[in-house]
Structure 1
């Protein structure tokens, strides 16, 4: 018998013999029953442990009936905005509305509200005041404490204060949501669930908590940017399941309490999650709209790990998933891959095998699993830690096994390779295997910048490390007659990047003869150190003032400099060079970034001819 989708209608629930499901999961995404989609993972995980789950995907938030599909669930409503933050999903960094939403049927862009987690939770609390509402997912996780909101350009309180949700699950939630489900099922009230790792909640006092670390208050955070920086650093210090303490953020009426993160999943538990009976396709109700575009990107990709100890300052993965890398077993990955090859749509290509960082397959060091992650110290920057375990053997073996599967033509690695981790490995096997077998013409890596000051603020390695990797890649490909290219990801207008730094990057790109097809302006989203820099205009570690490009003209100039070759950018590049005092880079000489333009005075017109001459001309 074919495994059914999780119910999305009352009729589907009744076919299963349910009067009321245990949980109703309200999601900002269309329902895709695939392990790359968090609502499907949480739904299937609860189902596997004996709980019934109905899904309300992308309800019409203006219609109360849309939230009443299953009536009142026996235990709780679960709310997620979906795989993406709804504001990032809706708006570009320039705050312009995006035309498409890959997580909606047919790419439609109006299927979810702005701040979907907040809108859904408020609606449910109004319609079902006696039923617990539990928030989860990326949008809630990154807003669990007070945070800077780029779209309103101000500090906002914890999303729990805005929504009045009973509980918030942060991070990757399988372990946490199961403990919550079992506690509710045993008869405990949601208000009493103040002991489950990986949760945050509102409490009127701190009497029942053992020495929580009290953060700056909400009032203080509104008045002091320095305290915003200090508070976030403390949160990062305690974002570890081994060493983390409970945190308490004071508000006028009580406290937001955050318990330490849940323990990372073991390899066996990761395998269990990915072996759940996913149908690996979008719900049939979306067929007429052409399906859900986001599935195309992951349909033939394999997740091999979670977590990232790279900890780039502009990335929220560390704040959300944590630093501890959690690998799946080879057996489970090969089992999933073999099943994929039987799909009629499979053409012989696995598009990716990876995670947040593809070539991380084990914790950074033995200490991380026993004693926790170090505070105020990076594993890879500014130099690799002496305790860092640099070993690609397990990942190489996995890729080799995947290549040998029947019907497999190519296994690509596209989810991002940490080139500094590659360069730290004295064994060249992975580098050579990657180049020979796993690059689809272009290898995308993320140096992000070349200015040393900006790189340090990003938490990225020095320019020399990228240069060494680039030279090694090009030399190997030349020697092996491989027509492959590096494509660097770059960020413009990151905190600390002034025009001088942007010009340095533009000159480097000119030296390489490379014009990026796309340049990403820095996007200040909650849950990153770089966003704290953007808001506070200071280095959080030193509290020294920091230049932050915020003016639209400045950001346009920095972006244009990275694509200086494009004729449509020439005027902006000249404007930037004039402003920076670098007119020497305007001209037609080999070192110039752009040719002269309208700002160069034209030659004076010839003097008028004499009157006699004019008369002569008229004869």
Structure 2
């Protein structure tokens, strides 16, 4: 049974009022891939009554009064994605669709949704506690740079007026907060729970805390923000992390408690086996449902957390670096339920998580002592202590593909190819190629220039080249004709026009024309965003040149798709500006031909498309039937 989303549904359960009203910027999908569904079902399992208020009309202050005054408080999330990322492209243009709204309809949530919803609640119910969480609150929990307004903003806890913020995945912290409130403790006195952020007039209660640069100094001096971020990044572990104190003037502090501990395998199993309906609420049927659900309907989440350490990724700040995995038995039970659905066609679309081939912590030391605060597991090279072993993941995939009713099990989450290369056993890569991909494997080298890769926190280009050779060798062995489809990022901090041209030349030599390129998108709480805003690498405080000019960003992006006629002018300007007119002509190595846009990209192989070009055409055909995920 779905949790109630209207007062009538609540009353049909015999409730006079809920314990919590949960406001979310997404439509209500009761599935474990949606944060609101997980938190509400976890609270329900602990005996709390939760009503869901999806996408209330923020133009109408009364919209938050649907269920009246809850017994304990309001919970607020912007949804599965930061509301600004949900609304705008990297060029700050409105997106044409909201995949988390009925029928993909735009305009169902406000910008900065967490702030807007929380302020609406405070206007309607001045003394009712408001607790914010989800990805938007989690990554904006302390002062941060906001790309869309080009402003340095305060903690979202202050702008929202909320009483408490839960960061990270939130299940354990949410139950502790609910139990404390249920016991009669005032929300202002809940200052002791890991994984929470609170406001205070004093720091007397903080033990072993670190005082970050204050907000005013960070506004004036970007170097101070880079220093603050470096400290934050070193305190994202539940074992080694310390409380962080951020001052906003005399007697006004935002205090972040250390992260909540990772969940155990049993706890993760329990979370994912709660009685979800695994569907969108029927109220959305008339509009064709929720597009985002279609992508994950037949996928299995096997793990959370990531020690990949990419600079442009916020997983370190949200899920943490210690990998937590579900048991085989739990995943098999979920798969069997999936198989019984009438619309299941025999294909499990994914078995993974942030990184599919991570199924255990990076090393044994992490379990007892936590992650290394000043070292990464895979960067700049694979740590000597890492336990690179795919045995468990291979066994899991074998069990799943042997289930009656399963035709094929795909792995579509990202895999870390440097971790694959660290494993001397070819079994995983061989079985991946033989059973779990269909013609192409998506990987994320991101770039080819080593100094850009260093800023990205990615392995050097030689590692990707070695992986390509190993992939091709395995495919020859298995008799498969399959291809790598690389994800690439343009205009990342540190990338110059010369770097973008080097990447374009690599694309030319591969015979591969990417149908999608990700222009670097500065989002809160990533090292790359700090580089973009401050011009400083927070890991070593060295200067970094960032591409902030819209024209240069457009040129770098165009170079990665230089064969497209609409990009001809930008590519030509970029080559001339960089002094690379040698790449304009009719030779085999030229990117474009002289003349106007009608003379598009440079020469190709005269005997037709290369294998990678064929793979790219196959990618374009597959995309016409549905979106693919990028991890």
Give the TM-score of the pair, scaled to structure 2.
0.94
The reply on whether 1:204 has 2:201 as its aligned counterpart is yes
Aligned partners of 1:408, 1:45: CA distance in 2, in Å? 30
The residue number in structure 2 matching 1:227 is 224
The residue number in structure 2 matching 1:244 is 241
1:464-613 equivalence runs, <5 A: 464-598=462-596
1:282-293 equivalence runs, <5 A: 282-293=280-291
Equivalent of 2:115, from 100, 115, 118? 118
The reply on whether 1:176 has 2:173 as its aligned counterpart is yes
The residue number in structure 1 matching 2:4 is 7
Cα distance change, pair 396–575 in 1 and its aligned pair in 2 (3 A): same
**Following TM superposition, by how much is the alpha carbon of 1:570 offset from its aligned partner in structure 2, in angstroms?**
1.8
The reply on whether 1:358 has 2:356 as its aligned counterpart is yes
Match of 1:491, SS state, is strand
Equivalent of 1:69, from 58, 66, 69? 66
Deviation string, structure 1 residues 459-510 (Cα, Å, up to 9, x no partner): 0001011111112212322343313211100000000000011111111111
The reply on whether 1:438 has 2:466 as its aligned counterpart is no
Aligned partners of 2:483, 2:27: CA distance in 1, in Å? 36
**Following TM superposition, by how much is the alpha carbon of 1:373 offset from its aligned partner in structure 2, in angstroms?**
0.7
Q: CA RMSD in A?
A: 1.0
Deviation string, structure 1 residues 388-443 (Cα, Å, up to 9, x no partner): 01110000000000000011000000010000000100111001010000012221
The residue number in structure 2 matching 1:51 is 48
Aligned partners of 2:564, 2:474: CA distance in 1, in Å? 30
The residue number in structure 2 matching 1:417 is 415
Unpaired segments ≥5 residues, structure 1: 600-619
Match of 2:542, SS state, is coil
Match of 1:340, SS state, is helix
Aligned partners of 2:403, 2:265: CA distance in 1, in Å? 22
The residue number in structure 1 matching 2:308 is 310
Aligned partners of 2:206, 2:467: CA distance in 1, in Å? 50
8 Å contact kept, 1:199–1:259: yes
8 Å contact kept, 1:477–1:483: yes
Aligned partners of 2:443, 2:562: CA distance in 1, in Å? 21
**Following TM superposition, by how much is the alpha carbon of 1:210 offset from its aligned partner in structure 2, in angstroms?**
1.2
Aligned partners of 2:402, 2:543: CA distance in 1, in Å? 55
Match of 1:24, SS state, is strand
Match of 2:569, SS state, is helix
**Following TM superposition, by how much is the alpha carbon of 1:126 offset from its aligned partner in structure 2, in angstroms?**
1.1
1:140-179 equivalence runs, <5 A: 140-179=137-176
Aligned partners of 2:163, 2:218: CA distance in 1, in Å? 24
Aligned partners of 1:144, 1:78: CA distance in 2, in Å? 16
Aligned partners of 1:116, 1:568: CA distance in 2, in Å? 36
8 Å contact kept, 2:430–2:478: no
Aligned partners of 2:260, 2:425: CA distance in 1, in Å? 35
Match of 1:47, SS state, is helix
Deviation string, structure 1 residues 73-110 (Cα, Å, up to 9, x no partner): 00010000000110000000000000100100000011
The residue number in structure 1 matching 2:265 is 267
1:332-347 equivalence runs, <5 A: 332-347=330-345
Aligned partners of 2:165, 2:89: CA distance in 1, in Å? 27
8 Å contact kept, 1:571–1:597: no
**Following TM superposition, by how much is the alpha carbon of 1:598 offset from its aligned partner in structure 2, in angstroms?**
4.9
Aligned partners of 1:180, 1:371: CA distance in 2, in Å? 26
Aligned partners of 2:588, 2:176: CA distance in 1, in Å? 65
Equivalent of 1:385, from 383, 386, 400? 383
The residue number in structure 1 matching 2:614 is none
Match of 1:256, SS state, is strand
8 Å contact kept, 1:423–1:469: yes
Equivalent of 1:190, from 166, 187, 207? 187
Aligned partners of 2:135, 2:313: CA distance in 1, in Å? 13
Equivalent of 1:449, from 447, 466, 478? 447
- Greater Rg, structure 1 or structure 2? 1
8 Å contact kept, 2:527–2:537: no
8 Å contact kept, 1:303–1:355: yes
Deviation string, structure 1 residues 185-214 (Cα, Å, up to 9, x no partner): 000010000000000011111011113100
**Following TM superposition, by how much is the alpha carbon of 1:246 offset from its aligned partner in structure 2, in angstroms?**
0.4
Unpaired segments ≥5 residues, structure 2: 598-631
The residue number in structure 2 matching 1:615 is none
Match of 1:435, SS state, is helix
8 Å contact kept, 2:144–2:155: yes
Aligned partners of 1:122, 1:37: CA distance in 2, in Å? 24
Match of 2:537, SS state, is coil
Equivalent of 2:75, from 78, 82, 85? 78
**Following TM superposition, by how much is the alpha carbon of 1:117 offset from its aligned partner in structure 2, in angstroms?**
0.5
Deviation string, structure 1 residues 22-66 (Cα, Å, up to 9, x no partner): 000000000001000111111111001100000000000111221
Give the TM-score of the pair, scaled to structure 1.
0.95
Aligned partners of 1:43, 1:88: CA distance in 2, in Å? 24
8 Å contact kept, 1:237–1:244: yes
The reply on whether 1:32 has 2:26 as its aligned counterpart is no
Equivalent of 1:278, from 276, 279, 284? 276
Aligned partners of 1:378, 1:466: CA distance in 2, in Å? 18
Match of 1:474, SS state, is helix
The residue number in structure 2 matching 1:394 is 392
